[in-house]
Structures are given as structure tokens and as C-alpha cells.
Amino acid sequence: MMTATIEAFFHNPTSTLSYVVYDRAGGHCAVIDSALDFDLSSGVVSTGFADQIIDFIRSNQLSLDWILETHAHADHLTAASYIKSKLGGKIAAGHHIDDVQATFESILGMEDDKADGDHSRTRFDHLFQDKEEFSIGMLTAAVIETPGHTSDSVTYLVNQNAFIGDTLFMPDFGSARCDFPGGDAKQLFESIQRIYALPDSTRLWVCHDYQPGGRELKYQTTVAESKQDNIHIKGETLESEFVQFRSERDKQLNVPKLLYPSVQVNIRAGQLPDAFIKIPISKTF
Ligand SMILES: [Fe+2]
């Protein structure tokens, strides 16, 4: 089996991990979950972080086959379209991104896109089905649908490496929230069972690390470690326990600072709106 080589990049402002997965011999790669720099106060969008990824791909003379999203992120803006404009490659996500697009287009009044015949759905080059296989050069990859945090969440399995998005975090940080539109704690439990059904030695690569207690950055664990140590869900945790815990906890969480900017850009595969980002208001009086 061809070995997958993995390079991780940490986006400090949003605690996001982006990965370049590549087949060193063949010189092909995929980017998983990239990020733009975005200053909420000024609205300035910049590409310092994405440029580090681009520089890495160029300096290793890799050709970019895929720009993959594990889900429509709610806390950072994807650099997928920017990276594609520099290096080519196909932007892809799970096909349930359709549901996320429909939900947020209506919350955010993005119907203009549709009126122009320029619907956001067309901005992805490919939408994956569950269990679909694809290749990154000589590497074989597979998609596992893992909804719960969002309805479109998928895991990308490349050999013994699972890129799990926000399904699980490092064992000392637990699991992702399920209270966004389309999120569902019961579905997340079932999705985690799909991950826990992979061989114990499977390496899990997380999409965020919040460095609890100020510990050093970590972003890779295994199925065995997570089953044994994950503070929210161990191998033997019951569905009812998890769903109750997750639902209680989600009630206490604040809305992510970049929720609306992120979703607006991410359901368009990282294409920025012409001039403005919208924030829907809700009156409490
Ligand atoms: Fe997320």
C-alpha cells in the first residue's frame, strides 16, 4: 500500500488544523480544511495562513488534486476557492452540504444567488456520497458520512488515517457541539460509533485543538486512545448518556464569533460575497 505523508498547519486565531495529505512518490496531494485570515472588526480578509499551505505544496512540487472540506465550518472561513485559484484542484464536500446551504440561504437571505442563476451549489466541483472512494495520486481515499455536529460532516479515510473534522477532538477536549441548525447529538453518537468501528490503530486527525489548560498543541490520536480516554465518549459510553450530556452542555455554549461570516462563505466553497457579510438580527424586545 502506498504510504500517505501528512503535513499539519495550525491556524492560531481559530485553533484550526489544516492538512496536506500527499503521495510523496507520485507527487499528488489533497488539502483538508484550509482557512482564510479574517478580522471581524475591520472585515479585512487575508491569506497569510493559506499562503503557507500553498508555499508548502509548491516547494514540494506537488500537484493539488483535491481541496476537501470535512463540513461547513462555523468558526473559520475556508480558503478553498483561494487555494484553487492559485493551484487548481477540485473543491469537494459531503453531498449533505445541500441541506446546510438550504438552511442558511434562508436564514441569511442569500436567495439573490439563486436569482442570478449563480447558486452556491454550483461552487463545489464534487459532492461525495457515503462510502465513495477517490484517489489522491496513488493513494486511495474513502468518504464516511459522520453527521451530528453538522448534517454535512464527513470523515476522509486515507489508508489508516481518518480526518474526522469536528466529530471528535483530542481525548482531553471531547466532542463537538450539536446545536447548530442540522446538528443532532444522537446522530453524532452514531457517527462516532462508525469511527470507533475502525481498527484501533487508525490515526485520527482532528480539525481543531483548543489546547485545554494551556497544554502544547496536539492534533493526532488513535481510535484506541479515544475509546479509552475521550472525556465525552468512551468505547462503552451509552447513547442516552452521551445525548443527555451533549444537549446539556450545548445549552451553555455561546454562538461562535465567526458563525455568520463563516457559514456564508463556506456554503459557497470559500467564495467571498462582493462587498458585505450579513448578520441576521433577532429582537429580544
Ligand atoms: Fe465545525
Please give the Cα distance from 187 to 176 (Å, whole number): 12
Q: What is the pLDDT of residue 119?
A: 47
Quick: pLDDT tens for 23-34.
999 999 999 999
Cα 220 to chain centroid distance, Å, stands at 15
Confidence of residue 115 (pLDDT cuts 50, 70, 90): very low
**Phi, psi (degrees; rounded to nearest 5) at 212:** -55, 140
Average pLDDT, the chain: 94
Residue by residue, DSSP assigns 83-104 as: HHHHH--EEEEETTHHHHHHHH
From the CA of 205, how far away is ligand 1's center (Å)?
Answer: 14
Instruction: Give 206: exposed, middle or buried? Use CB within 10 Å, 0-12, 13-18, 19+.
Output: buried
Task: Reply yes or no on domain 5-264 having CATH 3.40.50.1370.
Answer: no
Confidence of residue 121 (pLDDT cuts 50, 70, 90): low
Quick: pLDDT tens for 23-79.
999 999 999 999 999 999 999 999 999 999 999 999 999 999 999 999 999 999 999
From the CA of 176, how far away is ligand 1's center (Å)?
Answer: 7
Q: What is the pLDDT of residue 106?
A: 86
Has residue 263 got a pLDDT over 70? yes
Quick: pLDDT tens for 174-222.
999 999 989 999 999 999 999 999 999 999 999 999 999 999 999 999 9
From the CA of 139, how far away is ligand 1's center (Å)?
Answer: 26
From the CA of 1, how far away is ligand 1's center (Å)?
Answer: 31
From the CA of 95, how far away is ligand 1's center (Å)?
Answer: 16
From the CA of 255, how far away is ligand 1's center (Å)?
Answer: 12
Residue by residue, DSSP assigns 136-162 as: ETTEEEEEEE--SSSTT-EEEEETTEE
113 versus 203: the higher-pLDDT residue is 203
Residue 267 corresponds to which cell in the numbers above? 456554503
From the CA of 32, how far away is ligand 1's center (Å)?
Answer: 13
